[in-house]
Structure 1
Amino acid sequence: MSEQLTKKLASSSLGDSFASPLSLTNRFIPILYDLKLSIDHTKPNFQGELVIELVANDLYQTEVNTEASSFNLKLHASKLILTSAKLLIGEDDIPLTVKYERKIQQVSLSSKDDIEITKDSKPKILIKYMGQINTIKTYQDNTHGLFKTNYLDSISGKSNNFILATHFQPHSAKLVFPLIEELHVKTPIRLSIVTLSSFKVASNAKLISSEPLTMSANSTFIFETTPPISPSVFGFVLGNIEYVEDFVEEVPIRVYTSIGESRLASYTLKLIKKFCPILEQLFGVKYPLSKLDFVALPFLNDGAMENWGLVTALSNQLLLDEHTASPQALKQIKQLVAHELVHQWIGNLVTFDDWKYLWLNEAFATWMGNYAIKFAEKDDSVDGQVYEKFLDKDCFYNENAHGIPSIQSYMNSVDTGLTSVTSSIFETNSYEKGIIILRMIGNILQRDEDSRPIEDYSKFLEGVKKVIEKYEYKSMKGFELWNTLNEYTSVDLQSFVHSWMRYPGFPLVQVSSNELNTKLVFEQHQYLYNLTAEQLQLEDQPFHVPLFIKIIDDKGATKVLNVMLTDRKLELDIPLKQLVNINSNRGGYYRVNYSRSIIAHLVQNIDNVASSDLIAIMCDYGKILGTTISTSDDLVSLVQIIDASAHRKVLDYNVLKTAITYLETTNNILMHFSDYSQFQSWLNNFVTYLFNKIGKWDKILKIRDASSYDPVEMEVRDAVLQFGIDRVQFQDIGRKLLKNFLNSGINKSFTPKEVVSSMFNLTMYDATQKDYKRILEFVKNSNNSILEHSNITNQELQTVAVSSLSFVHKEDLLRKTLNFVMTNIDSKLIELGLIGFQYKTSTEDKLKLFHWYKLHYDQWILRSLRKGSDWAKQLGITMSNISRIVLGTVMQHDPELIELRENFIKEKLHSLPAHGLQELVESLEDENAEKITVATFYPELVKSLP
């Protein structure tokens, strides 16, 4: 019978057909589901008995006026076989006819005769049915509804252990019991499960009892009734599992694992205990349930699920050894736990009423979770790191013109139908943009009271507390969140959110002053990376932009003005002399472009600009530079800000790291695409100044372990040394570092991985034969015991060593490097041995590389075209990368080099079989377009250099 039943159940799978909400079309709606399940893990099906308590539906409208009519109730159900259904009124049991509506995943229960149901009737439905247990064997298998897997435990070594679990988001509860599966229909659920007595069983609510059945290996596990709950976050887990336990005040918290893995759950348990009280404090609302569990599962398609009081997650995302895990792994679990805990309030206690708002639900949990981590650890970098990642990567604005959607367009097009899954509804762009919107609103509310410190979101959280009070155990629409928060600010949040949801891209705000410098003038346009609104045929609609204008008033007090730019232009009576900067603490998500006069003012008052704001200014100019909207003013302004950042009174390595990052990029462009000499002269002076200002270079030689230095400082020192590679003073430091590195086993010194690159490159520049041979040994042998005294890995060391080979300046060693690359051309990443040529300005050196490249090109290309050979394929990759160095970077600007390059390309396209050269050249032209644009600004730049 099992095989037949399974086939019958499978045949009841339903399609995507549209169906009206059952909460509107039913005369009665549930007020309680009393669910009893009998689950035998050895069988493919389970048995269920469901009693549904009903009340009259206030939203139901009908022309029927009489109380007496045929009874009808529609429920969502999928792959369920109903064996009987009855209407219970008082002592009467009225059989109901079952009709499946498979295309819309519904079942209709109806009476043959008219039935009079009064308000006091308290009708109930009794349903008996069967459903499927989905067996999971691979990560690709579907983990929706009720699923099971067996596993090999680490204690007995046997694989006869089982875990059964549910996953209902968004529409899979109907695979386990008939119900109204709609987000806004929250109904309490009373659950009991009959299964093996040896199993542990957990659900959303606390376990009341486990009662053994007479003459059976089974027990009945009975749970408390849940509060009103959305079906998507209801669930249960049972099987051969164990747990670790603690308490948050009187609330028990557990982490369930497979047998033998609970030892890896202690860190997660500590995080739950740490973050739960913090979120109670931030929300001003106690955790709403009587217990809280996290469950580590072998399989789960969505990775993690915020079931109310029963969070499930993949084992590898929840379990680790705290003492051996990497910092990144610890951080990821921290973020996961905080995220899922936030959902216990926003998402579960209060729910958005439409799956189109999944982006907002998840965005809130991520942003609030990261804020909770920051709050717990008093770490100002946590929220900033998440935010900086989004802004600096232009993460939700794809460079492709066709990949720049608005949230509104996503919400209008996303399919949230009954067969949709979380992955098909979830949209990364909207989710990340949602995080940005929430952060901006938090800053807007904060800045209504200027006395509040930076990143103090207490006013925002007052609004969230109000939201929870108004909508707890209910569902709300997105605008109801904004309406409630709007009570805590004078800004029109609905209009603000509307603009950020409706428009693609983000704003570029241009700031200037009037002729008398008595007013600031703002103008905004949509910024779509390297594109204009006109090119995309967009209206260039103005956003609502929070300007966060930082000023120093006439009394010397620093203030941040909470001004909203809602039109194309805005003029404010703020004299230039008072301005510190726009978008203080990067509170808004937009780029700022200042006029040259304002840049001059900022440079003159650079010590008034906070480090975070200075970093933001450089990032804005660095991202705009080279795009279709950039001008020579952008290059001039960026270099002036970089120069000023080094002359601040305070030595801030985070600022210097950003400055040097953009300086390296700019320098590499100008070195190969401009006349360069005048900029090189300025750069030498800049680096000398910075070298002397940083000072204390011998401190690198005195480091004893990885915990005793600042990695950012070492990155800055490494970059500064690299800039001075042709100077003896810098080379001497490189040699000392190498000597220290080689003798670290004797002198017990420690070499930070951040300085190994400059250590090798500077030594190589004026290397002796002995120096060259010593570094070449690191290229050939990656197994070095010397690395006990450094935090660089063998592979990293080998990569850095090979990358240093062409930094040599002596002709005989340069020839030796070219010969080494030639004889090892079949080796993976051997092209790194030519990287140093990208830092050489001598035409003579460039020609040496080109003639070597041209000499071997034909034979290497022909070898790479041999079919069916892995090494030929690898050689093709190597040749493509070498061609990028030679044709894309080295052979540029100089007319002689360009002519050689063009003749070479023309000849090889004619004389050799098709080998991807034409495509590579076109790709290089696209990649170099921005660089060429920047190089055209060079004449204006040199005029401004001191």
Structure 2
Amino acid sequence: MSKVDIDNLPEQAPTLALSNKFIPSRYALSLSIFPEKPNFTGTLQITLDENSQFTFGSTDSNDDKFEITLNSAELITTSAHIISESSNINSKLKSKLNKQQQTVTLSSSEITFTELSKSTSPIILKITYIGVLHKTLTYADYTKGIFKTTYTDPKTGKVSCHLVSTHSLPSFSKFIFPCLDDLHIKVPIKLSLTTPIHFTCVSVGSIVNTEVISETTKTVQFEETPKMSVSVFAFTCGDLDYLESTVKLPSNSELPVRVLTQKGESKRGFYALEVIKESLPIIEQKFGVAFPLPKLDLVALPFLSDGGVENWSVIQILNEHVLTPGWDVTELKLKETKSRIQNIVIHELVHMYVGDYVTFDSFDYTWFNEAFATFMASAILAELGHEKLWLEKTVSDIVNLKRAQSLKETKPIFVAHVSTDSTQSTLEKEAYEKGIYLTRMLGNLFCENGVPNDNFDNLFKAIGDFIEANKYGSFKLIDLWNYLKTHKLNKFQFDIPTIMNSWIRLPGFPIVQVSEVSKDGEITLTQNRVLRAKDDSIENVPFQIPLFVHLANGKIGKQLLNDRSLKISAADAEPYLTFNANNTVIATLQYTLSQYQAIAANFTKLSDIEQCQVLIDISSILGSQYQTNDDIIGFFTIMATIAPDCKKISIEALNLSVTILNNITKSNLTVAYKQDPTLFTKLTQWNTKLATLLISQFDWSSDKTNYAAMSTAELNARTQILSLDYTNAESCAICKTLYKNLIHGPKSSVPKRFLPPVLSTIQANASVKDYKEISKLIKNPGLIVANVIEPNSQTDIQTSAIGSLGFVTSRELRNKTLNYVQTNLDVRMVELALLGFKFQGECAELVFGWFKLHFKELYGRVLRDNRKGEDSFVRFFQHLVELVCELCLSFGGSLVVKLEKFLKERDLEVLDDLYERAKVVFEGKVRLSSKDQALLKVFDESKF
């Protein structure tokens, strides 16, 4: 590591909001913008007031000489004057630029602060300057300050249309005009733009006057804004079309709204306009606060580095994020596009209140600013018809979040002094995602009657009251927590600051282990931070966990776990279904076997989210350091209970349960094949019966089943059911029909998700003819692509066809697969052809023998390969070695001895490392045993 020269470190950027004796109280900005030129010119008049927060300086007499330092980047000051009519002052100022700190200091050796303090008229700082129009032609060109681009005129076909816009967040206003580019300095801004006469202009304020200067030039004057942060100041001008309408708001105002686009694109903005009209009244109603500005514009831009920016009343969003396609697309694609538009538009509308009307005083709180906007947008979308939104997030986003948060390297949400080089640098993705669900927990604390039901109106009303009390102001997050703590809608008097700060300041999330009921009738709850790998060096600080208990009688109990453990007395220990009702808290709940049995017996009494939460918790525990035998038996008990009438539970829970079962059975059948024949027989029979039972409860006939209209959750569940047993008679019959449709039609008859189980099932029972037919699809997926429901499925067909090659069961075809891999090493993802062998213990010796035979050639290619990333042969080699090692470990016995002898003879560090990695994976798998009588009892007593 190179030594740091501490004597030559750059100076720390000054805190200008505190170090200036006078600060802006108003900006009047006039800009002249002509995109053919590389620069723009500006005239700025800043009204100055004494700074009540001034804290820096000394007693030196020179300190009384007027001086002010402003943020300024790529701006050249051509003149600067300080003016006070009442004091008869109009003095020229010296200008000193600091490029490193991106500031300009304006000073006078004649004018003093004492003189200015006596002024009875406004003190005006007048600056003329030149700035840069940043050329933006590709997505690689970062947008900041004022940027310009050109595009093709749809009528003439020539690149003659111009578009100029701004990007101020997080701290790029200093590229537009000299200012205090500081979040909590909120002052009015009055703008005028001089542009080509045909330009359409839009900014924060409404247009109050347009003056024609010449045949080619005009000046547009905008209404002065309310107090605002310069970080959300914006304007756009250029060759633009727009759609306009009005929206009736609950505050009884008629708000003009527009969507502005490039020429010829306005029709594509119709849906975004409809989203604004539908959702803005809901936002105003939920906050109980009138929309603070007299108009709202949304500008679709071809380039914008942040994708979407919440400028006050002039929202900017990247074209592909906010415009519907201007070409024919499938119904599914259009639905996905509209969903994305809804999310981003409502998100930005929420920012008009939280972020703009009231503003966090530091970018350290960007995580909550963004998380809250996404959270509220999600809540509104749930009301607008997306009823399963929080359920879908539970089974996807929260699962991924927990996986990431279980690493010891995980940071807490709050990190002080974040970089403001870009908006992305102010926000950690994991902090934002965790913040969404932490805000959901907060919202459920405010639910009516203490029932966490994802109705967040009380929280929104309380935050609306906070907005009204602090409008046009800036605040710290603790100010909001303290306000919510004492708000009347916090009916159960939760200590909001303590609870929220616990989750913000601590990394990760907890596992809560629920004990059996003791002889005294007590239940003990114990919490620990979840870690993927045990590490005693990691501090295990307890979280403040507000637990909502779903009681057996349907009511909701409440417990606060604020220490390592909590004893619930016999008087309070009522029969319960789950200790995390509605999955309110980001936590994993672990129960004992008797509790899992009670959950299984009452599974249909749980909400859809709770059903999924129980299964997700079990899934995250299995194979981890927290796993006990109770968790394994508990899962099989739940599975055996829900299978006979699986449609009584949510389709999402069914998908989760069968997915978990697939993972457990496939890995255990491989090991049991050689090492535990009794378990192999019992588990195989049970799995086959279960597959038959589940298959029988669904209609699979293509003439009666509309797969194209089927939900993603049901398609996923059906895919997992077909994947349970590739030799099951009923499954084989269904897959043969689907395979016939796939090969011969009709068009759009087979869902893309069915490709892996259908092709793998055919291969498990394949003839040489079938094998060759599927192999053709690897090179020619277009042969059947028209018969797949989803368009552009060529890659999915190829991947599924390659992956199916390892599920063949005859020795002849297994050899063909190994030969295919050997002769197609340059085919991307070719290692997938070997994946099916992992689940066939009898293949272990065959695959190991093939690997030994070709090792020299394979390793030679590794040494010669210079490629990186997905196409690297090294990546293929690593996957191959790990697969072979896992297969040998699963087979056990003499094959492990042979493997270790082979590795020792080669004496290669890379092989030893990959073997160790394979052992970690192998040892982390869930283990079943025929010696476990409780498990065998579940198999024997299952009612199917």
- Taking structure 2 as the reference length, what is the TM-score of the superposition? 0.88
Matched to 1:366, the amino acid is T
Structure 1 CA distance, aligned partners of 2:302 and 2:931? 58
Shift of 1:599: 1.9
Structure-2 change in CA distance of 1:16 and 1:469 (3 Å): farther
**Mapped contact 2:662–2:723 kept (Cα < 8 A):** no
Partner of 2:194: 194
| Residue 570 of structure 1 pairs with residue 570 of structure 2 | no
Structure-2 change in CA distance of 1:928 and 1:82 (3 Å): farther
After TM superposition, the structure 1 = structure 2 runs for residues 715-730 of structure 1, keeping only pairs within 5 Å, are 715-730=716-731
Shift of 1:879: 4.1
Matched position secondary structure for 2:524: strand
Shift of 1:484: 1.8
Q: Deviations over 1:495-545 (max 9, x none)?
A: 01121122112111111133247332211112233234x232x1x221110
Structure 2 CA distance, aligned partners of 1:361 and 1:97? 39
Partner of 1:49: 43
**Mapped contact 1:87–1:123 kept (Cα < 8 A):** yes
Shift of 1:717: 3.1
Q: Deviations over 1:584-605 (max 9, x none)?
A: 1101111111123322322333
| Residue 393 of structure 1 pairs with residue 387 of structure 2 | no
Structure-2 change in CA distance of 1:796 and 1:463 (3 Å): same
After TM superposition, the structure 1 = structure 2 runs for residues 314-333 of structure 1, keeping only pairs within 5 Å, are 314-321=318-325, 324=329, 325-333=333-341
Partner of 1:896: 894
State which drifts further: 31-40 or 201-210.
31-40
| Residue 303 of structure 1 pairs with residue 310 of structure 2 | no
Structure 2 CA distance, aligned partners of 1:703 and 1:864? 52
Matched position secondary structure for 1:182: coil
State which drifts further: 503-512 or 700-709.
700-709
Root-mean-square deviation over aligned CA pairs = 3.2
State which drifts further: 88-97 or 39-48.
88-97
Structure 1 CA distance, aligned partners of 2:111 and 2:825? 87
**Mapped contact 2:512–2:588 kept (Cα < 8 A):** yes
Shift of 1:289: 1.3
Shift of 1:494: 0.6
Q: Deviations over 1:145-184 (max 9, x none)?
A: 2222233344322223322211112222222222233212
Partner of 2:580: 583
Structure 2 CA distance, aligned partners of 1:369 and 1:693? 37
**Mapped contact 1:779–1:799 kept (Cα < 8 A):** yes
Structure 2 CA distance, aligned partners of 1:786 and 1:99? 67
Partner of 2:211: 211
Partner of 1:383: 390
After TM superposition, the structure 1 = structure 2 runs for residues 407-446 of structure 1, keeping only pairs within 5 Å, are 407-408=413-414, 410-411=415-416, 414-415=418-419, 420-446=421-447
Shift of 1:780: 4.5
Structure-2 change in CA distance of 1:940 and 1:141 (3 Å): farther
Identity of aligned residues (%): 28
Matched to 1:316, the amino acid is E
State which drifts further: 622-631 or 650-659.
622-631
Q: 1:640 aligns with which of 602, 613, 637?
A: 637
Structure 2 CA distance, aligned partners of 1:361 and 1:938? 54
Structure 1 CA distance, aligned partners of 2:552 and 2:371? 35
Partner of 2:544: 544
**Mapped contact 2:687–2:725 kept (Cα < 8 A):** no
Partner of 1:406: 412
Partner of 2:287: 283
**Mapped contact 1:397–1:528 kept (Cα < 8 A):** no
| Residue 496 of structure 1 pairs with residue 496 of structure 2 | no
After TM superposition, the structure 1 = structure 2 runs for residues 608-757 of structure 1, keeping only pairs within 5 Å, are 608-647=605-644, 650-674=648-672, 675-680=675-680, 681-682=682-683, 684-689=685-690, 691-695=692-696, 699-703=700-704, 705-745=706-746, 750-757=749-756
Shift of 1:750: 2.2
Structure 2 CA distance, aligned partners of 1:270 and 1:542? 46
Matched position secondary structure for 2:555: strand
Q: 1:31 aligns with which of 20, 25, 35?
A: 25
Structure 2 CA distance, aligned partners of 1:651 and 1:356? 43
| Residue 121 of structure 1 pairs with residue 121 of structure 2 | yes
Q: 2:518 aligns with which of 515, 518, 530?
A: 515
State which drifts further: 423-432 or 366-375.
423-432
Shift of 1:867: 5.4
Partner of 1:358: 366
**Mapped contact 1:545–1:588 kept (Cα < 8 A):** yes
Partner of 2:91: 95
- Taking structure 1 as the reference length, what is the TM-score of the superposition? 0.88
**Mapped contact 1:702–1:749 kept (Cα < 8 A):** no
How many residues align structurally? 904
**Mapped contact 2:582–2:609 kept (Cα < 8 A):** yes
Matched position secondary structure for 2:700: helix
Structure-2 change in CA distance of 1:760 and 1:647 (3 Å): same
Structure-2 change in CA distance of 1:88 and 1:142 (3 Å): farther
**Mapped contact 1:56–1:119 kept (Cα < 8 A):** no
Q: 1:75 aligns with which of 63, 66, 70?
A: 70
**Mapped contact 2:391–2:608 kept (Cα < 8 A):** no
Structure 2 CA distance, aligned partners of 1:871 and 1:566? 46
Structure 2 CA distance, aligned partners of 1:258 and 1:602? 57
Partner of 2:4: none
After TM superposition, the structure 1 = structure 2 runs for residues 795-834 of structure 1, keeping only pairs within 5 Å, are 795-834=795-834
Structure-2 change in CA distance of 1:727 and 1:48 (3 Å): closer
Structure 2 CA distance, aligned partners of 1:230 and 1:819? 66
Q: Deviations over 1:459-481 (max 9, x none)?
A: 11121111111111111111111
- Structure 1: unaligned runs, 5 residues or longer: 1-14
Matched to 1:459, the amino acid is N
Structure 2 CA distance, aligned partners of 1:74 and 1:503? 38
Q: Deviations over 1:558-609 (max 9, x none)?
A: 1112322112221223676621111111011111111233223223333333
**Mapped contact 1:191–1:222 kept (Cα < 8 A):** yes
Matched position secondary structure for 2:163: strand
State which drifts further: 582-591 or 296-305.
296-305
Shift of 1:222: 0.7
Matched to 1:272, the amino acid is I
State which drifts further: 431-440 or 766-775.
766-775
Shift of 1:805: 2.9
Matched to 1:514, the amino acid is V
Structure-2 change in CA distance of 1:569 and 1:918 (3 Å): closer
Matched to 2:503, the amino acid is W
Matched position secondary structure for 1:449: helix
Structure-2 change in CA distance of 1:38 and 1:752 (3 Å): closer
Shift of 1:118: 4.2
Matched to 1:405, the amino acid is K
Structure 1 CA distance, aligned partners of 2:219 and 2:924? 69
Q: 1:343 aligns with which of 347, 351, 361?
A: 351
Structure 2 CA distance, aligned partners of 1:438 and 1:700? 44
| Residue 784 of structure 1 pairs with residue 777 of structure 2 | no
